[in-house]
Amino acid sequence: MVVILDESEMDEEARVEVPSSDKETRRGKLVACAGVVPWKGGWQSEDPGDEVGWEVKTVCVDEGEKYRRKGLAMGLLKTLEELIVGREREKIQVARNNGRAN
């Protein structure tokens, strides 16, 4: 899951705390988020067969005028894509390295 916070938002009721990749805690209003899950078949849970991968499950952006038409949803999807592709590349590299070691 990736999120975008408005750290300038001062309303305490709207503020959340989110751990970040640099081990810091970020605080702010949650204005956008997107999440993915491993692919396990479609709506009818049909057999995914040999398919593997990820499925975007949710993309949400605050309806406030301040956040509309800023490309937040596209930015979240781009970040998810980069994270997933990076993880998959790492898995492939590990598998290749393990194959050479045998």
Q: Answer whether 18's CB lies under 8 Å from 6's CB.
A: no
The pLDDT assigned to 24 comes to: 85
Tell whether the model's pLDDT for residue 90 goes beyond 80: yes
Tell whether the model's pLDDT for residue 37 goes beyond 80: yes
How many beta carbons lie within 10 A of that of residue 43, not counting itself? 5
User: What is the three-class DSSP state of 11?
Assistant: coil
pTM strictly above 0.85: no
What pLDDT digit, counting tens, does each position of 40-52 carry? 776 666 676 777 7
User: What is the three-class DSSP state of 89?
Assistant: helix
DSSP, residue by residue, 14-46: GEEEEE-TTSPEEEEEEEEEEEEEE----TT--
